[in-house]
Amino acid sequence: MDIKGKTAVVTGGAAGIGAAIAEEIVNRGGKVVIVDIDIDDAQSLAQRLGDNASAMVCDVSTGANIDAMADQVWTNTGGVDIVFANAGAGATGPLLDVGEDLFDFVFTLNVKSVWLTCKAFANRMIQEDRQGYLCVTGSEHSLGLQHAGSGLYTGTKHAVLGMADVLRRELPDTIGISVLCPGLTSTRFAEGRRHSRLPPDPPQMEAFAKAVMAKGMPAADVAKATLDAIAREDFFIVTHANARAAAEKRWQEIDAAFAHQAPPEGDVDKYDVTRVIGEVSNEFK
Ligand SMILES: NC(=O)c1ccc[n+]([C@@H]2O[C@H](COP(=O)([O-])OP(=O)(O)OC[C@H]3O[C@@H](n4cnc5c(N)ncnc54)[C@H](O)[C@@H]3O)[C@@H](O)[C@H]2O)c1
């Protein structure tokens, strides 16, 4: 879908990748509603971007807020064409050490809010028989990249890819979907819990993370690649060439496991669940 003349909403649109997407939308002749928990940053960005941008406050970690926000955005704009379910944050710490509060925070923000944002807007598009597009923000962690200390975050980004992959089979033909899988991007990601009640990382750890993030790809480059890919309606949006090696390594391990443990012998389709569901559906007609 080409953004020109379209109306978009970007959650987590006040900073980082979301802000760069909002700016690129306006640069390409679209309108954008910047939705963020940080209304000051959202408003100053909207002001800088001019008449084709507006700001709305919403903490997307609560479902009722998302539905109310979607209602208000829909009423104010007359309908949305493209939705960027982008708000998200990191969570660091070994899986055997981190607490349930961090799990709940990061799965609610990175997974549940993405699902509910898609649900709120896609159902409104369907009700009004309107063409639309969804873009959910995953990560290179969705593709197979991982490192020690990122377990909760990696889990959320696999979940985002999994839901997007199923959604593309469930959505009507009138609604497209992409999953944005960026790598290291220079944003405020290292301060990702700044709006939560959870304590920040210890100062030295946060300083280290900020120094790493500062070496990332400019968010503007990620935003340009994202809108180019959405114009082509590509499902996977990849921005960092280095992430390919992680995806290949993941596939090679899977391939080797199948070769050793479940080689293609005999009737390989016998237990193919897609085929079996089709067969049983026919029996149930
Ligand atoms: N920066 C990276 O290297 C990188 C790489 C891959 C994926 N991502 C993903 O990109 C997305 C954006 O991250 P970023 O790097 O731009 O981070 P960022 O911290 O710079 O921006 C995140 C934005 O989300 C907002 N936000 C946080 N909690 C919110 C809430 N509850 N409700 C509404 N808005 C909220 C913040 O105020 C902020 O404006 C995330 O989903 C992240 O996982 C980032």
List the domain boundaries for the chain.
7-240, 245-285
Residues 74 and 130: beta-carbon distance below 8 Å? no
Residue 187's pLDDT is 97
Return the CATH architecture of domain 7-240: 3-Layer(aba) Sandwich (3.40)
Q: Which pTM was predicted?
A: 0.97
Taking the centre of ligand 1 as the mean of its atom positions, its distance from the CA of residue 266, in whole angstroms, is 48
Ligand 1 pocket test: pick from 23, 37, 83 the residue with the most ligand atoms within 8 Å of its Cβ: 37
Tokens of 124: 């409104």
Give the bridge partners for 7, in sequence order.
Answer: 31
Q: Sheet containing 7-11: give its strands across.
A: 53-57, 31-36, 7-11, 82-85, 132-137, 175-181, 236-238
Residues 195 and 253: beta-carbon distance below 8 Å? no
Which residues does 217 contact at the CB level (< 8 Å), separation at least 6? 182, 183, 184, 185, 186, 239, 240
Does the CB atom of residue 56 touch ligand 1 within 6 A?
A: no
Catalytically annotated residue among 84, 133, 153, 189: 153
Residue 193's pLDDT is 87
Residue whose Cα lies nearest atom 8 of ligand 1: it is 139
Does the CB atom of residue 139 touch ligand 1 within 6 A?
A: yes
Q: Per residue of the chain (285 residues), give pLDDT as tens.
A: 999 999 999 999 999 999 999 999 999 999 999 999 999 999 999 999 999 999 999 999 999 999 999 999 999 999 999 999 999 999 999 999 999 999 999 999 999 999 999 999 999 999 999 999 999 999 999 999 999 999 999 999 999 999 999 999 999 999 999 999 999 999 999 998 889 989 888 899 889 999 999 999 999 999 999 999 999 999 999 999 999 999 999 999 999 999 999 998 999 999 999 999 999 999 998
133 is catalytic: no
Residue whose Cα lies nearest atom 30 of ligand 1: it is 59
Does the CB atom of residue 87 touch ligand 1 within 6 A?
A: yes
